[in-house]
Copies of this chain bind each other. A is one copy, B any other.
Amino acid sequence: MAVTTTAHRARRPRLQRGSLSREKIVRESLRLLDADGIAGFSLPKLGRALGTDPTAVYRHFASKDDLILAIADQLIEESSGGLVPGDCWVSTLAESTRRLRTTYLAHPAAASLSAYRTTQGPAEMHIVDVIIGAVLAAGFEGAEAATVYRAMGDFALSWAGCEASFLALDERLQKRDTDAWTSAYLAVDRRQYPHIWQVRTELPGVGDDEIFETILSFVIGGLVARAPRPCGCAQHRQAAANGNS
């Protein structure tokens, strides 16, 4: 069958007419959000950027929220696509957290809109399965496994979402915050806030990556200490043999 009827379109189960499609709209949304931030993202603007009527997007998405969910799934896909769990559950957990953060930081405006939302798309299901797999490999079982999974998953989402939300603020507002570390806290009164004063010169130099790796090491460290079964990979078996928890 399949003669010469628009070969590349025939792949889809249902042919798309015209110039718009959900996929194209999501892609252009991401582009707009990356370029102009949240302020540059409205359905009329999106329609115009696509070269269509300002309201045309409503033919493909029931509402703006519907579109945001599609963007969320795209982000999760970008973040967890091709992630294959190795034999070390510790690095599986650490890596999936790092990857989510990397994606969110690459698309802060999109992430700040779509974080904390459950898409129930295939990409989300996949990463959930991977993380639960790691938690089970750590020896947690039943209700405790479910709780530990939620704790680790929500930690990754909340941290990355929070960093992204900050980066999605106006540059003006971000500068206000940065200035707090570099000047306001630097000039703090010694008697009123003695502890801030003690580390005041160190505060401006702290980098975001450093902060993230610190909290991640705490979380993973606390998890490993509580895990019923140590990690079976070469590196961690070595560490466990040395009596290090």
Contacts and interface: CB of A to CB of B under 8 A. Distances in A.
A205 to B, nearest CB: 7
Given A145-B202, A218-B218, A118 B155 contact: no
Given A159-B158, A162-B158, A176-B118, A218 B211 contact: no
B195 A136 contact: yes
Q: How many copies does the complex hold?
A: 2
A149 B199 contact: yes
Interface stretch (A4-12, A22-30, A44-52, A124-132): A124-132
Nearest to A122: B192
Contacts of A225: 221-222, 225, 245
A195 to B, nearest CB: 4
15 contacts: A116-B166, A117-B177, A118-B180, A125-B192, A132-B198, A132-B199, A136-B198, A145-B199, A146-B203, A150-B214, A154-B211, A217-B226, A218-B226, A220-B222, A222-B225
